[in-house]
C-alpha cells in the first residue's frame, strides 16, 4: 500500500512538474517580458553566488589534486597531474559540484521566497495588480538560473584549476605557465562543450523545481520550510539524473 | 493588441451575483449564492469561519473560478473573461487582502507603485510620485514611504495595503476580513478609515467580516452567508432583531 502511494505521488510530481515546465515554455518565453526583474534575478542568482561558488571550487581543485597525487605517484605519472585534474574538473566535477552548491543556495531560496509569497497571498496580490505572477516570478527566475549557472560553472572551473595549481605546487615546483600549458594541451573542445551544455540543463532544473515547489506551497510556514527543503532534494537528485543522461549522450556522440 | 472592454461604470447595479456554486471535493462552500451591489453602498457579508466568505470574494475578483453561476461587474461576467480582460476590470476593483499581502522585498513606495506601473503605463514618474504620496496621505502614513513592510506595525501595514488598494481610484473595494489580527483600538481606526474613504471617494464596498464592530460601523446592509447561501439580508438593525435562530446565534 505504501509503495503504491509512493509511486503514485512520484508519478503525480513528475506529471505536474512537466505541466509546469510546459507552462514556462508557453507563457514565460512570450512577450511582454519582465526584463528588469530578469536582470535583477541575474544579479541575485548569478553575481551574489560568486563568492560561495568560488570558495567551494577553489577547495575542490586543491583537495582533488592532493588526493590524486599519491595514487599517480605510485604509477609514476605524477607529471600528468595537471592534465588529469583539468579533465576531471572540466568534464565532471566542476559542473556537478557547482550545480549542487547552486541547488543548495538558489533552489532553497527560490522555494522559500515563492513559498512565503504564496502563503501570504503576495502572489494573488500580484495577479490582482494586473501582473502575470508566472511571468514575473517564475519565468524570470528560471531563465536567470538557466543562463547564470553555465557562467558560474566556467568561473568555478577556472578558480578550481587555480586551486589545483596550488595543490600541485605543495610537493613540486611547477611554474604557472607550465601548469596552464599542460592543462590546455590536454583539454579538447569535446571536453568543454558537453560540460558547458549540461550546465544549462542543471540550471533549468534548479530554477524550475525551486519555482514549482515554492509556487505550489501550502499549509503555512511549515509548508514554506518543506518547499525549500524539497526544492534542494529534488533538484539535487535531478542534477545526477541529468548528468547520467548527458554522459550517455556524449558517449553516443563520441565526445 | 488586446480588446478594450467597455465597462458600464455608470450603471446603478455595479455587481450582480446569480446562482453561484463552488465546491472543494465534497465540501459545498457556495451553494446558490445571490447578491446585488448598488453603487455607493457598503455591504458586509457576515458568516462564521469556514463558511466560504473568502472563497466568495476570491471568485468575485477572479482568483477562484466558480463551478456554476455568474458574477457580473460593470456588465461583464467575471468567469467568462480572459486574463487581459480581467485585468481591465481589476483596475476598477480594489482588493484588500486579509494578510495585507504587501511585497516583503519592496519598500512602501515600490509597493504602491507596483499596481500603478502595471495598470497606468503612460503615467510619468512625477505623477506616480504624486499619486503615491496622495494615497499614503489618505491613510495618514506619508512618512513611511521609504520604509520596508517588516518595519511597520500590523495596523500600519493594513493602512499601507489600503493605500495600495486606493491608488488606482477603484469604483468598488473588496475587503477580506480587514480587522483580523488587529487589536480593538486599531480595528476601530481601520474601520473608521474605511468609512472615511468610502465617503470621500464615493466607492462601493463589499466587506467580508465576522467582526461585529465592523458590521455595525461600516455596513449599510448586512448579508448573512450561511450554508453557502445568502441566508438573510437587511440593515444592521433589522438583522440584529431577526428571530431566526441561525441569525440570532451571531449576535448572542
Neighbours of B189 (CB within 10 A): 17
pLDDT at site A1:
57
Residue B85 confidence (pLDDT) above 90: no
**Are B91 and A130 an interchain contact pair (Cβ–Cβ within 8 Å)?**
yes
pLDDT at site B118:
79
Residue B4 confidence (pLDDT) above 90: no
The answer to the question of residue B73 being in a domain is yes
Contacts of A32 in chain B (CB under 8 A): none
**Are A121 and B61 an interchain contact pair (Cβ–Cβ within 8 Å)?**
no
Nearest residue on chain B to A116, alpha-carbon basis: B104
Residues of the domain holding B231: 14-92+173-178+203-252
CA dihedral sign, ordered A164, A166, A169, A170? negative
The answer to the question of residue B112 being in a domain is no
**Are A125 and B90 an interchain contact pair (Cβ–Cβ within 8 Å)?**
no
| Nearest residue to B101 (alpha-carbon basis) of B110, B111, B109 | B111
The answer to the question of residue B97 being in a domain is no
DSSP assignment of A187-245 equals --HHHHHHHHHHHHHHHHHHHHHHHHHHHT--SHHHHHHHHHHHHHHHHHHHHHHHHHH
pLDDT at site B91:
87
Neighbours of A27 (CB within 10 A): 14
Three state DSSP letters for B92-127 = CEEEECCCCCCCCCCCHHHHHHHHHHHHCCCCCHHH
* Lowest-confidence segment of A189-203, B107-121, B224-238 by average pLDDT: B107-121
Chain A residues contacting B via beta carbons under 8 Å = 116-117, 120-122, 124-132
Asked whether B10 and B40 are in contact (CB, 8 A), the reply is: no
ipTM of the complex as predicted: 0.86
| Nearest residue to B32 (alpha-carbon basis) of B77, B5, B70 | B70
Q: Of B83, B99, B115, which is closest to A121 when you measure between CB atoms?
A: B99
Number of cross-chain residue pairs from A and B with Cβ atoms under 8 Å apart: 44
Minimal CA separation from A131 to chain B, in Å: 7
Asked whether B66 and B40 are in contact (CB, 8 A), the reply is: no
Q: Which of A155-159, B23-27, B217-221 has the highest mean pLDDT?
A: A155-159
The answer to the question of residue B228 being in a domain is yes
The low-confidence residues of chain A, meaning pLDDT below 70, are 1
User: Which whole number is the average pLDDT over B168-193?
Assistant: 89
**Are A124 and B101 an interchain contact pair (Cβ–Cβ within 8 Å)?**
yes
Contacts of A120 in chain B (CB under 8 A): 99, 101, 104
Minimal CA separation from A37 to chain B, in Å: 12
| Nearest residue to A161 (alpha-carbon basis) of A246, A93, A220 | A93
Residue B2 confidence (pLDDT) above 60: no
Asked whether B172 and B205 are in contact (CB, 8 A), the reply is: yes
Question: CATH no. for residue B210?
Answer: 3.40.50.300
Rounded Cα–Cα distance for residues A47 and A148 (Å): 9
Asked whether B215 and B209 are in contact (CB, 8 A), the reply is: yes
Nearest residue on chain B to A124, alpha-carbon basis: B63
More confident residue, B250 or B178: B178
Minimal CA separation from A192 to chain B, in Å: 38
Q: Of B87, B91, B97, which is closest to A121 when you measure between CB atoms?
A: B97
Contacts of B102 in chain A (CB under 8 A): 122, 125
Contacts of A117 in chain B (CB under 8 A): 103-104
Rounded Cα–Cα distance for residues A88 and A67 (Å): 13
Asked whether B76 and B7 are in contact (CB, 8 A), the reply is: yes
Q: How far is CA A105 from CA A45, A139, B205, in A?
A: 9, 19, 44
CA dihedral sign, ordered B186, B187, B188, B193? positive
The answer to the question of residue B71 being in a domain is yes
Query: Testing the interface with A: which of B93, B101, B161 to mutate, by most A Cβ within 10 A?
Result: B101
Rounded Cα–Cα distance for residues A230 and A31 (Å): 31
Domain count, chain B: 1
Q: Of A125, A130, A131, which is closest to B101 when you measure between CB atoms?
A: A125
Contacts of B175 in chain A (CB under 8 A): none
**Are A116 and B104 an interchain contact pair (Cβ–Cβ within 8 Å)?**
yes
The answer to the question of residue B146 being in a domain is no
pLDDT at site B1:
47
Strand B229-234's sheet: what is its strand order?
Answer: B93-96, B172-176, B204-209, B42-46, B221-226, B229-234
Query: Testing the interface with B: which of A121, A130, A140 to mutate, by most B Cβ within 10 A?
Result: A130
**Are A122 and B102 an interchain contact pair (Cβ–Cβ within 8 Å)?**
yes
Contacts of B61 in chain A (CB under 8 A): 128
Minimal CA separation from A254 to chain B, in Å: 48
pLDDT at site B68:
93
The answer to the question of residue B145 being in a domain is no
Rounded Cα–Cα distance for residues B204 and B60 (Å): 14
Rounded Cα–Cα distance for residues A94 and A88 (Å): 8
pLDDT in tens, A97-126: 999 999 999 999 999 999 999 998 899 999
Contacts of B114 in chain A (CB under 8 A): 126, 129, 131
pLDDT at site B120:
67
Percent of chain B scored above 70 by pLDDT? 98
**Are A130 and B99 an interchain contact pair (Cβ–Cβ within 8 Å)?**
no
Minimal CA separation from A116 to chain B, in Å: 10
The answer to the question of residue B46 being in a domain is yes
Rounded Cα–Cα distance for residues A244 and B66 (Å): 45
Q: Of A120, A128, A130, which is closest to B99 when you measure between CB atoms?
A: A120
Contacts of A128 in chain B (CB under 8 A): 61, 63, 90, 95
Helices (H) and strands (E) in chain B, counts: 9, 10
| Nearest residue to B96 (alpha-carbon basis) of A125, A114, A126, A116 | A125
Strand B68-73's sheet: what is its strand order?
Answer: B27-38, B13-24, B68-73, B76-77
pLDDT in tens, B38-59: 998 999 999 888 888 989 999 9
Q: Which residues pair with B13 in a beta bridge?
A: B38
Amino acid at each position: 500500500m505504501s509503495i503504491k502511494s509512493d509511486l503514485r505521488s512520484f508519478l503525480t510530481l513528475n506529471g505536474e512538474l512537466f505541466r509546469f515546465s510546459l507552462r514556462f515554455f508557453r507563457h514565460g518565453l512570450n512577450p511582454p517580458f519582465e526584463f528588469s526583474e530578469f536582470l535583477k534575478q541575474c544579479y541575485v542568482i548569478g553575481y551574489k553566488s560568486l563568492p560561495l561558488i568560488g570558495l567551494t571550487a577553489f577547495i575542490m581543485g586543491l583537495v582533488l589534486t592532493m588526493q590524486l597525487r599519491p595514487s599517480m605517484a605510485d604509477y609514476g605519472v605524477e607529471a600528468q597531474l595537471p592534465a588529469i585534474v583539468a579533465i576531471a574538473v572540466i568534464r565532471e566535477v566542476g559542473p556537478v559540484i557547482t550545480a549542487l552548491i547552486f541547488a543548495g543556495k538558489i533552489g532553497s531560496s527560490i522555494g522559500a521566497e515563492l513559498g512565503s509569497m504564496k502563503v501570504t497571498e503576495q502572489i494573488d496580490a500580484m495577479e490582482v495588480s494586473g501582473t502575470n505572477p508566472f511571468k514575473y516570478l517564475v519565468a524570470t527566475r528560471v531563465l536567470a538560473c538557466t543562463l547564470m549557472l553555465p557562467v558560474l560553472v566556467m568561473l568555478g572551473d577556472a578558480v578550481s584549476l587555480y586551486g589545483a595549481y596550488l595543490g600541485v605546487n605543495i610537493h613540486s615546483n611547477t611554474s604557472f605557465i607550465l601548469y596552464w600549458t599542460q592543462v590546455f594541451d590536454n583539454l579538447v573542445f569535446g571536453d568543454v562543450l558537453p560540460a558547458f551544455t549540461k550546465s544549462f540543463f542543471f540550471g533549468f532544473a534548479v530554477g524550475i523545481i525551486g519555482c514549482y515547489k515554492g509556487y505550489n506551497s501550502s499549509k503555512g510556514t511549515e509548508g514554506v520550510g518543506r518547499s525549500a527543503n524539497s526544492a534542494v532534494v529534488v533538484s539535487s537528485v535531478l542534477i545526477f539524473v541529468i548528468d547520467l543522461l548527458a554522459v550517455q549522450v556524449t558517449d553516443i556522440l563520441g565526445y | 493588441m488586446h480588446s478594450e472592454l467597455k465597462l458600464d461604470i455608470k450603471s446603478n447595479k455595479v455587481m450582480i451575483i446569480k446562482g453561484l456554486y463552488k465546491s472543494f471535493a465534497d465540501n459545498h462552500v457556495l451553494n446558490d449564492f445571490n447578491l446585488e451591489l448598488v453603487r455607493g453602498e457598503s455591504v458586509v457579508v457576515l458568516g462564521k469561519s469556514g463558511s466560504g466568505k473568502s472563497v466568495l470574494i476570491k471568485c468575485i475578483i477572479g482568483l477562484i473560478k466558480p463551478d456554476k453561476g455568474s458574477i457580473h461587474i460593470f456588465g461583464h461576467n467575471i468567469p467568462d473573461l480572459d486574463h487581459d480582460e480581467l485585468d481591465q476590470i481589476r483596475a476598477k476593483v480594489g482588493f484588500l487582502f486579509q494578510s495585507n499581502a504587501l511585497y516583503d522585498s519592496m519598500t512602501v513606495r515600490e509597493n504602491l507603485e507596483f499596481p500603478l506601473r502595471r495598470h497606468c503605463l503612460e503615467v510619468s514618474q512625477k505623477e506616480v510620485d504624486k499619486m503615491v504620496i496622495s494615497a499614503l496621505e489618505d491613510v495618514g502614513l506619508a512618512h513611511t514611504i521609504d520604509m520596508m513592510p517588516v518595519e511597520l506595525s500590523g495596523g500600519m501595514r493594513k493602512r499601507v495595503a489600503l493605500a495600495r488598494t486606493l491608488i488606482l481610484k477603484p469604483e468598488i473595494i473588496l475587503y477580506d476580513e480587514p480587522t483580523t489580527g488587529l487589536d480593538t483600538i486599531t480595528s476601530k481606526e481601520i474601520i473608521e478609515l474605511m468609512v472615511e474613504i468610502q465617503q470621500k471617494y464615493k466607492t462601493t464596498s463589499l466587506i467580508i467580516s465576522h467582526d461585529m464592530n465592523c458590521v455595525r460601523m461600516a455596513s449599510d446592509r448586512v448579508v448573512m452567508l450561511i450554508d453557502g447561501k445568502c441566508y438573510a439580508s437587511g440593515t444592521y438593525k433589522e438583522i440584529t432583531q431577526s428571530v431566526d435562530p441561525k441569525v440570532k446565534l451571531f449576535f448572542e
